[in-house]
Every structure is written in structure tokens, then in C-alpha cells.
Chains A and B, each alone.
Chain A
């Protein structure tokens, strides 16, 4: 049974454009009252827990609108190879992992061959030098290539007749696998992870998520490069998790979605790729790869048909589009489907949507599309001297134009794309407020809305979540300082002191 809770002495933001408050009273999972000064005293009685926020901010629980829950959780138990600069670095990390967990298979992630001095993926002979006792399965940073030691090549079911298997001069597989064979391999490996292993990994990982004040995530699961079993897991186990996980099944199988009773489809349904891999579809050449403009994964006709079917079946649709050509394609399909069906109110979303033009924003507003964006991208890769400038040249000035989007009236919900960037909404807010290009910066209040009220709207939960209102679910986060008063450049340094989910304290640092 829940204990009634009063949080007092805070700087509360209800996030519905009404006046701030200083205290809040929570009972039976719900927000019962809030106000200023000593009004909370009316609720002080035996058994009511009183928390002194000490001037910190009280906000609705954060909603992370783009989060790969299962893969992020599994990755948290994998060996991070992003800092490896040579085969030796890779090998040492594998060796350490083998020592830490003897007898257990090893999965390495985020290996970028471009940062290795050898400039290629390690083959089985290299990996065997460091580990022969258990299967070693290494994933490249984009998951497009895998590298296995000999044990893993023999242990996992490998489809050697498919394209994507590399052979040495003796026609023996080298252990480096890409393309179709990699897809089957990944599916085989990921399918073999049991639900109990997934549950253990997710439960453990969500503790760190709760510590960042997140109470709801949009779980982007299944599909290409991931595993449908992840989506099935979230579908089946979400009620056992500490926070709410709203499933976005990354499939185009509308029949399956309908049979599961889901009301939304998509997530990372890739219309294009990434800036990093130079696969985002641009209207201009990549600055560091003349002649390359990235490609679209669908023809307009194909996408039109799929989007139309989503409209006809009244499914909320989330499409991954990063480059301006992909965004154009997505918007055209929505225009086509809307004209054909007249179905509105489905709150369709574009995920990431990093390079929208002014015209795109205007048309998106007319279509009532939601932009689901990841501001932390700008913090990590935006601005001069970083990846976006390397790939896009001076066009880095036009990525993620939050202010223009918000000013045009398009709703922006914020996500981390965890584990592409850390599960940290405060860092996301910081990034939106401190965009490296000044004209794209939004106010602190607008940035918080991305992770609260707009997040709730983007999943049809605004009547229950996203703002502080009497009767709403008591998903609350308490920060250590007043976010509206600290210097904007310090937002990322704010700490979460407490997270409440359904009126229960699930993280407490007081």
C-alpha cells in the first residue's frame, strides 16, 4: 500500500503554463493537491511522509520518447569497445571480460573499425589470441558487421551460404560477417537470449534510468538490427518493470500489430541512415565524401502505400527520418495518406528528424505531425569541430533547429535514443537550451516540455501524465536546485534527488 507523501519547500513547475507551486500532496498513486506556502499542513498527519525539497525543482516525471530498452539493457552487460584504438585494446577488454565472468560468452559492442589503427574488423585469428574458451561475438558500432572468434563460429548457427561471409584464401570463414548473413546471425544470437535473461538485464538497467528521473519510456523495439523478441518481451513483461514502457514495435507488419492490440507502429523504421555512416539522405553532398548524398530505403510509392495502410487502420505511426530528403519523403507520404483517408488525430511522429527545412516544418504543422527529437545529439556531435561539421560542413548550422520548430507550433517530444546517447533527460534539456547554434536554442521551459507534457501527448497520455494536476498519476521528479534560476550552462550538472512512480518513491537521494 502506498504511503501518502508531501513534498514541500520546492520550486514546482506544473508544466501547463500555470503558476509555480511550492508543495505537493500525493495519495493513492495520484496527485491530490498542490499549492504555495504552508497549505500542505492540512495534510500533515500520522503516516504521511514529508519530504523537504530544499528549494529544488519539482517536475512531472520525465518521459523519454525514444529509448531502446532491451538492447540498451543487454548492451549494459556487454563489453564497450568504443574506446578501443587497436586490436590489442579490443583483445585486452575481451580478456578482462573473460576473467570477470569465466565460462560466459562475451559480447562486445560499439567497435568502430575506423578508429582502429588496423582500420578493419578483427578476424577470428585475432580474437582467438585473447579468448578461446568461450564464444566471442563483437558488434560494429552500427551493428552492420559482426566479428567472431573460432569458438563462436562453431557455436552459433551460421548460414555460410548467405552473402556477407568473408573467407580466407583456403575458403575458411574468417569470422567477419556482414549483410544477410549478419542479420541471420544476430537474429539467432538474440533469439537465444531467454526472457529471464532479458528481464534480469532490463530490471538492472532501469535502476540507472530511474535515477535520472525517468518514469515513462517509449520502447522502440524489434525489427532490423534488433530482435522481434525484444518487442515481444516488452509486450509481455512491461507490467513487471519499475517504470512505464510504451511499446513501439519496429515492424511493418500491420496485421501483427493489430493482432497484438497495439495502437501504434514503428519507431526506427528507417527511411534513411545516419550522418555517422553517411547514409542519411541529404539534398547536398557529404562534406567529407564528395558525390555521396545518402540514400532512401523506400520508394515514394512504397512508403505512400504503407503510410496509407496505417491511416486506414488508425495506427499511430513513427517513422525514422534524419536527412532532409527522408523528411521530405515522410511528409509527402503523410500528405498522400491524409488526402486519401481524411483520418486525423492519430498523432503521427517523425523520429530524430534532424534536418527539416522551414517548408517541412510548415507542412508538418499542417499535418499535425509530432517531431520526436534527441537534443543530446547536438551536445555530443553538434557544433564546430565535431562530427556534424565533419560530415555536413557548414550545414551543421541547420541541424536540429528546435526553436524554429517550436515557434511554428510543432510539438517536439524529447528522447535519448538510449543507448546511442545516455538516458539522461537533464542532459537532453541542457542540449536543447544550449544548442551549439544560438538561433536554434529554446527556453528552459520549452525544453522541459519536450520531456514532460509533449512526451505525454505523443503517446496519448496527456490526461494522466506530463503535467502536475490534481487527479493525475503521481509520477514526479525532484531536482537538487531550481532549474529556472541556475545558469543555463549548468543544467547538465543538476542532480535528481528523488523519483516517484505512481506515488511511490522509487529513487531517493535525500
Chain B
């Protein structure tokens, strides 16, 4: 079957064999033009004015005839013996009975208001290989060039609408990862779209990946700042502040996305993905303490001893807020704690929680761990703390 692809660099194949190269640019353009006007016959005069505006009438009409003849000669008939183009004395048009496939025609079947399945949407999404008639420009054919421009606008809008619908479908079906990936594609097209950014942050929330949501927001904020000189809108800022100030608002979602599971030893599993700032010593460790404390809040785990908490409070002050078994905070606050005590404190902290949890610390490839934390990880790994696992790049 004949296949005409107009999204991306134009391509025409017959039974998988490329025939576009044997056609001139204007012949290809004429075919595309007729496909776009497939629901009606077009006067040859109009075609002449589109493609040979500078030629005299006779030459233009000859060119139209010659190109129609070329199309008839080079585009094979379909299985039923129909030709692609039907031509009369003054008009020509696409043969309604001719069987062929065309991405642009398929795209017209997409209407954002009609309900489609995810599979339908995915099939349509695959059509977008690039801009409409990418690389095509016919000098002096102003109307045709305008038609390309118009179609590019239409197709780009359809692409965004389609991706939008797909992302929503995924979300409704609780396929959050796929929804997120689709939103990322949308943001590649519209990198400053705050609506898309907001939805992305919410999806990270649904996935329980608070760290990723924060990273995403910071990157988005930076992009707006660097490229547009503006800050995110109020709604987005509020969402970010909510995420920063009330991490507990995500707890249920965290549990939903990362359900605490029992391992072979009967311990619940916690997955920690630290937020890191490379230039701030202990930042990564402090974030791990915060995450562990938050997650441990779900269960009745005895608090860690006061001395350890005091040592760790130098890098994560909130830890001191918890009393000991009696609920009282005693002991002397120190203004500065030597690094060695923080390291040993963190070791005891992990040993303590390791009695109650299987702890997974995930260090992704792009995690920019501060040098001090990195050294501590190496040290901890060498100590083989029970139920502690490091995953990813150290």
C-alpha cells in the first residue's frame, strides 16, 4: 500500500519501497497539497497559481498536466486498480476509492473531545516524527509555503493536545510514571509552561518522590530565571513551599508509591533518596536523617539515645526535639561537634534503625553528594551495618 508521511521529512513509499526520491520537490508538494484537499476537487488553475505563480498561463497549465502525468506514472495503482489522482479537464483531486495511508490524515481522526483509549493515543503519538513537511520550502510559491506554516501550527497544537490527553489518561489510570514521562515530553515542547510544571510536581508527589519534586522545581525555577528573567507563578511557588514545609502531606502518597514491604527477615523496608548539595558538608547525611526520622514516624520505634541525637543535631537540629524515653530533653547543647562525632553518631543512628528496618539508600547517578558525605558512605559500607544497603553510585 502507498504510504505518505508528512510529519517530519516528507516520505512516500509503496510496499515499503521509497519512491519519494524519484519525484521532484514540486511533484511531492502537489501530492501533499491534494492529500490535504482530499475532500474536494481542486481546479488546475488554482494548482498552477500555487506552484507556478511566476509562469505564464500556458506554461503553468502544462506544468500541472505534466506533474499529474508523472504522479500517475510513478505512483502505482492500488490493489483494486484505482489511481491516486483523478483528473478532469479543469479539475483534479484525490481518488476517494484509492487505498493509502497518511500520517496527516490519521491525525485528523484525533479530536481532543472524543474519548480515546491510551493505545489509540499512543498510536497517534507515534506519528509525530518532526515538523510538518520538514525541510520543504518552494521559492516564490507563497501560498504553498503559507499552507505549510499553517499546517505546522495545527500539527504542533494537536501534538500538545494529544500528549495532554495521554498524560491525563495515564493519571486517571494511576499510571503515574508514564504520565510523568508524557509530561516531560510536553515540557520539552513548552519548557516554560507553568501548568505542566505544576502537574509534574503533583505527579512526583503521587509517586512519593519528594526529592525529585524539589529538584524539578529548582531546575524549573532556574530555567525561568535564566531564560525569561521571571520567577514561577504563585500557585507553583505555594506547591513548592508546601512540599518543603509540610513533607508529612506526602506521607500517604509515599506509602502508596513505596509500600512498606516485609522482607525475608520480617523487617519493613524503607527507601531513602537523599537530596544533596555538593558544596555543603554533611548536607546529604542531614537529609538522610530527616527522611529516616520522617519514615520512622509511622511506626512505634524507640527513639535513639540522647547523646547520638545531640551529636547529630549539629547537622540536623530537629532531631534534638524528641525527648528520651521519658519525653524530656536533658544534657548540654554544644555549639560545635567534631566531624568524628557526627560520623560515629550517624553510624549509631543507622545501627539503631537497622534493628527495625531494612534501609535502602539510593544514590542516583546524578546525585551530587558532598565530599564529606561521600566519605562517610564509604566508611559505612566498610562497616557492614546490618540491614543497610547502598544502591547506585557512591
Contacts and interface: CB of A to CB of B under 8 A. Distances in A.
Contact of A160 (B157, B225, B231, B280): B157
B230 interface: yes
B190 A162 contact: yes
Given A160-B153, A172-B149, A299-B231, A252 B225 contact: yes
B222 A252 contact: yes
Contacts of B157: 160-161
B156 A183 contact: no
A150 B142 contact: yes
Nearest to B136: A154
B136 A161 contact: no
B150 A172 contact: yes
Interface string A350-387: 00000000000000000000000000000000000000
Interface string A277-308: 00000000000000000000111001000000
A173 B146 CA distance: 8
A438 interface: no
A297 B142 contact: no
Interface string B142-177: 100110111011001100100000000000000000
A476 B227 CA distance: 39
Contacts of B136: 154
B306 interface: no
Task: From B153, B160, B228, name the one whose CB has the most chain A CB atoms within 10 angstroms.
Answer: B153
A172 B132 CA distance: 14
Interface string A215-259: 000000001100010000000000000000000000111110011
A326 to B, nearest CB: 13
A313 interface: yes
A166 B94 CA distance: 33
A161 B145 contact: no
A159 B230 contact: no
A224 B229 contact: yes
Interface string B191-227: 1100000000000000000000000000000100111
A159 B190 contact: yes
B356 interface: no
B368 interface: yes
B131 interface: yes
A340 B236 CA distance: 28
Interface string A30-60: 0000000000000000000000000000000
B156 A172 contact: no
A161 B142 contact: no
B55 interface: no
Interface residues of A, number: 41
Contacts of B139: 132-133
B145 A150 contact: yes
Contacts of A165: 153
B145 A154 contact: yes
A165 B190 CA distance: 13
Nearest to B146: A172
A184 interface: yes
A159 B156 contact: yes
Interface string A163-177: 001010011110000
B140 interface: yes
A173 B277 CA distance: 44
Nearest to B277: A255
A184 B148 CA distance: 20
Interface string B277-297: 111100000000000000000
B149 A128 contact: no
A154 B153 contact: no
A55 B176 CA distance: 78
A172 B225 CA distance: 31
B316 interface: no
A154 B148 contact: yes
A313 B368 CA distance: 15
B149 A183 contact: no
A157 interface: yes
B156 A155 contact: no
A302 B149 contact: no
A199 interface: no
Interface of A: 128, 132-133, 150-151, 153-155, 157-162, 165, 167, 170-173, 180, 183-184, 187, 223-224, 228, 251-255, 258-259, 270, 297-299, 302, 312-313
6 contacts: A167-B153, A173-B153, A223-B227, A224-B228, A252-B225, A253-B226
Leading 5 A-B pairs by shortest Cβ distance: A160-B153, A154-B137, A160-B156, A297-B229, A172-B150
Interface of B: 131, 136-137, 139-140, 142, 145-146, 148-150, 152-153, 156-157, 160, 189-192, 222, 225-231, 277-280, 368
Given A259-B278, A297-B230, A299-B231, 13 more contacts: A132-B140, A154-B145, A155-B137, A159-B189, A159-B190, A161-B157, A161-B189, A170-B150, A172-B150, A183-B192, A224-B226, A253-B226, A258-B278
